[in-house]
Structure 1
Amino acid sequence: MCGLVAGFVNSKTNLYPQSQFIEMTETLHHRGPDETGYYFNNDNTVALGHKRLSIIDLANGQQPAASDCGNVQIVFNGEIYNYKELKQTLVKLGHTFHSDSDTEVLLHCWLQWQHDCLKHLNGMFSFVVWDQAANLFFAARDRLGIKPLFWTKTDDNSIYFASELKSLILNDNNKTLNTSAIHDYFSLGYVPEPKCIYDNYNKLEAGHYISAHLDDITNAEPVQYWDCLDSINKHLSETPDSDIDNGLKTLTDSINMRTVADVPVGAFLSGGLDSSVIVSTMSKTSKVCTYSMGFDTKEYDESADAQTTANLFNTDHTDIIVSANAFEYLDDIIDMFDEPFADNSTIPTYLISKQAAKRVKVVLSGDGADELFLGYRNYRMLKLETQLRRIFPKPIHNVIFGSLAKFYPTLAWAPQFLRAQSTFKSLTGDIIDNFHEAMSLNSDCQTQLIFNSEFNTKNNGYSSKQIFQNLAAKVKINDPIKKAQYIDFKTYLPSNILTKVDRTSMANSIEVRVPFLDHRLVQNWIGHASNENIKGSKSKLLLRKIAKNLLPHKILHKSKKSFTSPMDEWFRMMPPEKVRDIVDIDTLSKAGMFNTDHIENLITLHLKGKNNLGMSLWSIAVFARFLKKANAKN
């Protein structure tokens, strides 16, 4: 696991000075504190920088790595889990190796198959290749977007890549904020790929690559090489026992592949189904170091469940408790993400990664299982909404459900799924728009109120729901749950969940591996009909069948509990002046885009207990701190 920076320009211009490029690479020291390497070609038109976190073949595997002839150079962030099998294949094809590193295997995969090498890789990765003989550069990101890759094209016809945005913006004193990305953030809590918070900066989307000749950089654009959509549209309606058996074999293989390392390996453990499956499998071959997170607010605390599972599998378990002083980490969040990022589980994920880094360099996590096997409550609510819509003819939806929405109380204090008024009101609208609202920190109406009229005019009616609608339209199956699942795989999973895990872990120089996002599992299981995973209040039924012999009944059928922070309670534990200090009205006012009177009102409503607006306030506080550090123009 590492950090990389790469730059390419045509022969008519020059790259940034080498000293500046080295400075860009050094911003990624946390991603690879073990070794540093550089490559600059003679013409100063190609530069590669690398920071290494040594995981495989500690003595070798230095980067940039070069072919024997010296014509091909590569920088690589991630792990290729099937590198040993690929190495055997390549040896039979006549390749010679000088190390046992997966980097060298990846280099030879490029030499053998060029662009088609991506079809052979099982792993999480972003990498950049410079092929001098072909005058070609190639950059790629893994299928699910586990590892990040940012890029930008500059006015002087050059292109730069980096593992984190901070490297690319280091010396840009004229960067401007992207209006639609700001709106996306306040809606969803993150900036969805391929956008960045700044104009002219991009995230290479999951399952994409960029390839171009040095004299044709202007036309370098992303190309998609993989998408889970094909598997979703297969829509498998029945699952024979043989498929369940094969699913267990593939999942076990995926977990075991991700324990291969020349450094200590541990696991995050919540006590729920997903992490327990991983720990159960790992504990069959060795004693596992496990880590869990607890909260000082009891209803959010799963530490007791994690301890029960740790005892069951005799792990070496560590548990930490997070309290309201977590607000002290606001600056760390901005430094980690380089963009506003409002997932309220970021701080606990950062702290548990910091704890794990004291003993291990690699951790396995259960991320991705809820998206793959439909574990989120929103999927179950979509199923209920779909069933209600089928009972009543469409022409009377507005009449019946609109009247019921007015009749029932709002119940703003209650969890979302208990708010009858919200439920009935949603039945009068478009089902994907409803899913968008369920996934949003702030509704479209609330988001618009946060900004002043000048910003709203500039935004010109844009909403992130357009992203959801465009993605849903690609799913051929007339099942809103499968449409929502595809939306999550293209937005929430790569841009929120995996981004959070990557930045918080790498800020602590440890690597997190996610077995449930092995592309073989995704291809085999994402296409199953939603009713195979959801029945009534039960979800992830196929995973429970796959894992039936791995876990006791109590864990196997435990209800999901979201990994989230008690943000509402934390804000109310503070005096009003402290809340206003964190939200930072002064900075917001200077930005010239916010309706600060409305934001003041949100603070008052929340502190009086009239509405639960903790996440809205948190999203505003994060953005204010981002603005304070960004030095960017509107």
Structure 2
Amino acid sequence: MCGIVGLFDTRGQRDIDAALVRHMNDTQRHRGPDESGIHCEPGLAFGHRRLSVIDISLGQQPLANEDGSVLVCYNGEIYNFQQLRTELLEHGHRFRTRSDTEVIVHAWEQWGEACVEHFRGMFAFGLWDRNRRCLFIARDRLGVKPMFYTMRPDGMFAFGSELKSLLALPGLSRAMAPQAIEDYFAYGYIPEPRTIFQSVEKLPPGYRLTQQMFEPLAQPQRYWDVSFQQNTRLGEDEARQELVERLSDAVRMRLIAEVPLGAFLSGGVDSSAVVALMAGVSSTPVNTCSIAFADKAYDESPYAAEVARQYGTRHYVQTVDTDDYALIDTLAALYDEPYADSSAIPTYRVCQLARQRVTVVLSGDGGDESFAGYRRYRYAVAEERLRRLMPAVARRPLFGVLGKLYPKADWAPRIFRARSTFESLARDLVDGYFHGVSLMSDSMREQLFTPSFRASLQGYRAADVLRAHASTAKLDDPLSLIQYLDIKTYLPGDILTKVDRASMAHALEVRSPLLDHELVEWAATLPPHFKLRGGEGKHIFKRAMTGHLPHNILYRRKQGFAVPLAAWFRGPLRERVCQALTGNGLLSTGIFRSDYLHQLAAQHLSGRRDFSAPIWTLLMFDAFLRKELGNAYAK
């Protein structure tokens, strides 16, 4: 895996400062510590940090075609590169390396912008075609690899793998986008295409952008989307067999490497399935890595150990103190913009452990989105059934009033939180799902933000993100719709961002067989009752893996990478919570109301309410500001 940067002069062929490109490139050294490559010519510069995985001796970048007219810098893996190489050779192209990088160059020559439609893998790359005088950037279909870009006022287009590489540009505006702040305090991350800064955007998953010289900033163009058109002819037994075959193929493709390779093994269904199928196609024992928690309430390591014993893996376990909160400021520097998924802490640690043993790992990411594994899917579908029993004209006022009158019970499991359910039932499916996934509800954000900040939003609501995707999907089935929404938002914005930054911080490459786009496309065509049945998610996946994994692995309650935030904030982090929520830092931004910050702190610290998720979101925003503003913060 790698880090890339690029500068392209859209107004001509001005010289580009090589020292600046080198500085931008070096901000991402952690992504590729093995080698550094820089290419500069009038009007263009590429930088590349390399983590050597395939064709270690000859795969250096930036890499050009035979006459140097096409140049690429690339982050990712094209798993079908060997087949594409054969096809391109038949078309008359000549290769001088065995790397997947060179396939991109010749695929562009052969198919132009459509080259990305031939790639099966994870990727983000920039490509310069001197003859066509254009820069082409693209990102993989599901957003496994990141891509940030900006157009400077002077006509200089810049891109990079991480936001920090663009922040190295002199004079880049650091003005925060109000809509991004609204999004962050709803979702806990900032969905594509926004970043926290108005001046920088993310290229969305499944999009490409062609920037011509002497033209204004081009608009990204979508080249892929997932369709939930159901295949009603497929029987369940046939689907189970095909699922195993497709996942086995996706695993096999991801075992190509010239460096030590292993797998994450949490003991959950997805990672266990990946390890089981890896063991079936590996000639040597699989290396597996797990995190154990000192607090047994959060520890899944016995389940991981059971799978490791079953498949005879070389199993490595590291016990992490549950009070591993010292990473707060490290994470703020790692993610570059506010990011509030607290499972980033154990994810960082398991990547740290894995890198001590291997360079590449396979993960189980993506299974929940494709096969309906999240509990919230069950709740959302059940709520939609209730909505459809009553006309909206009667439902909205009735459940709206009940939601206001019913006492708050955010300490209880979702099934017992009638107030939250009533509030969801008063909305339509998209708004109700948004209400269910929000870290801070509409009413909480309204109380959190100052009137002047709310005015700057000009009526924008974070739910508009989901509404925009829903209007594109045009799906009637509730389960399919919320799966689609998660694939477009939560998967790239939260899950894949978390894994990319945590793994790249340790120069570790993570490959996700369950995110193979052909598998995702096939899973989307399965009837919803194959996925969610009788309140049980991943029905078809668990049935397919019955011969490979024990019952207690497949059907135990989903646990996840949780950390004890509520206890931290009333214990070792109490002083930091008080300092952040009642000090001058957050208030100095003009975004937050002092009385509400004090209320959140007082009610949580006294034990009257559990505001751990909103407080963590505020702490990470505070940590971002400390990193971004430095000594000027709160002075």
TM-score by length of 2: 0.95
SS state at 2:290 partner: strand
Q: Which moved more, 1:194-203 or 1:526-535?
A: 526-535
Distance change (3 Å), C-alpha of 1:376 and 1:409: same
CA distance in 1, matches of 2:461, 2:391: 29
**1:249 equivalent in structure 2:** 245
CA-CA distance at 1:50 after TM superposition: 0.4
CA-CA distance at 1:609 after TM superposition: 1.5
**1:593 equivalent in structure 2:** 591
CA-CA distance at 1:16 after TM superposition: 4.4
CA-CA distance at 1:110 after TM superposition: 1.6
Structure 2 unpaired stretches of 5+: none
Structure 1 residues 107-506: aligned runs within 5 Å: 107-170=105-168, 171-172=170-171, 174-216=173-215, 218-228=216-226, 231-234=227-230, 236=232, 239-284=235-280, 285=282, 286-398=284-396, 401=399, 405=403, 409-506=407-504
Structure 1 unpaired stretches of 5+: none
CA distance in 2, matches of 1:68, 1:411: 66
CA distance in 1, matches of 2:618, 2:343: 16
**1:29 equivalent in structure 2:** 29
Distance change (3 Å), C-alpha of 1:412 and 1:133: closer
CA distance in 2, matches of 1:93, 1:498: 36
Distance change (3 Å), C-alpha of 1:337 and 1:15: farther
- Contact persistence 2:264–2:362 (CA under 8 A): yes
SS state at 2:209 partner: strand
Give the % identical residues: 40
- Contact persistence 1:53–1:509 (CA under 8 A): yes
CA distance in 2, matches of 1:407, 1:158: 56
**1:533 equivalent in structure 2:** 531
CA-CA distance at 1:319 after TM superposition: 2.3
Q: Any idea what the Cα deviations from partners look like across 1:184-217, whole Å, max 9, x if unmatched?
A: 111110010000100120000000111132222x
CA distance in 1, matches of 2:299, 2:575: 28
Counterpart amino acid of 2:520?
V
CA distance in 2, matches of 1:461, 1:237: 46
CA distance in 1, matches of 2:290, 2:558: 16
**1:564 equivalent in structure 2:** 562
Distance change (3 Å), C-alpha of 1:13 and 1:296: same
SS state at 2:556 partner: coil
SS state at 1:631 partner: helix
- Contact persistence 2:151–2:217 (CA under 8 A): no
Q: Any idea what the Cα deviations from partners look like across 1:285-318, whole Å, max 9, x if unmatched?
A: 1311212223344332212211222222222222
Residue 515 (structure 2) pairs with residue 517 (structure 1): yes
- Contact persistence 2:194–2:201 (CA under 8 A): yes
SS state at 2:621 partner: helix
CA distance in 2, matches of 1:305, 1:280: 14
- Contact persistence 1:245–1:546 (CA under 8 A): yes
CA-CA distance at 1:399 after TM superposition: 6.6
Distance change (3 Å), C-alpha of 1:300 and 1:235: farther
SS state at 1:283 partner: helix
CA distance in 1, matches of 2:233, 2:600: 46
CA distance in 1, matches of 2:130, 2:398: 68
CA distance in 2, matches of 1:477, 1:250: 25
Structure 1 residues 538-553: aligned runs within 5 Å: 538-553=536-551
Provide the alpha-carbon RMSD of the alignment.
2.1
- Contact persistence 2:21–2:38 (CA under 8 A): no
Work out the number of aligned pairs and report it: 629
CA-CA distance at 1:31 after TM superposition: 0.4
CA-CA distance at 1:561 after TM superposition: 1.8
CA-CA distance at 1:115 after TM superposition: 1.3
SS state at 2:600 partner: helix
CA-CA distance at 1:124 after TM superposition: 0.2
Counterpart amino acid of 1:564?
A
SS state at 2:587 partner: helix
CA-CA distance at 1:56 after TM superposition: 0.4
Distance change (3 Å), C-alpha of 1:209 and 1:384: same
SS state at 1:328 partner: helix
CA-CA distance at 1:278 after TM superposition: 0.4
Q: Which moved more, 1:102-111 or 1:251-260?
A: 102-111
TM-score by length of 1: 0.95
CA distance in 2, matches of 1:582, 1:314: 48
Counterpart amino acid of 2:277?
T
CA distance in 1, matches of 2:379, 2:342: 22
Q: Which moved more, 1:351-360 or 1:13-22?
A: 13-22
Structure 1 residues 62-101: aligned runs within 5 Å: 62-101=60-99
- Contact persistence 1:346–1:504 (CA under 8 A): yes
SS state at 1:473 partner: helix
Q: Which moved more, 1:577-586 or 1:331-340?
A: 577-586
Q: Any idea what the Cα deviations from partners look like across 1:356-398, whole Å, max 9, x if unmatched?
A: 1111111111111100001101100012112223344545435
CA distance in 2, matches of 1:209, 1:437: 32
**2:579 equivalent in structure 1:** 581
CA-CA distance at 1:558 after TM superposition: 2.8
Counterpart amino acid of 2:336?
D
SS state at 2:373 partner: coil
Q: Which moved more, 1:293-302 or 1:20-29?
A: 293-302
CA distance in 1, matches of 2:10, 2:399: 61
CA distance in 2, matches of 1:401, 1:197: 35
CA-CA distance at 1:240 after TM superposition: 4.6
CA-CA distance at 1:144 after TM superposition: 0.5
**2:552 equivalent in structure 1:** 554
- Contact persistence 1:237–1:532 (CA under 8 A): no
CA-CA distance at 1:49 after TM superposition: 0.5
CA-CA distance at 1:70 after TM superposition: 1.2
- Contact persistence 1:244–1:545 (CA under 8 A): yes
Q: Which moved more, 1:186-195 or 1:87-96?
A: 87-96
CA distance in 2, matches of 1:592, 1:224: 37
Q: Which moved more, 1:122-131 or 1:570-579?
A: 570-579
Distance change (3 Å), C-alpha of 1:408 and 1:221: closer
- Contact persistence 1:296–1:322 (CA under 8 A): yes
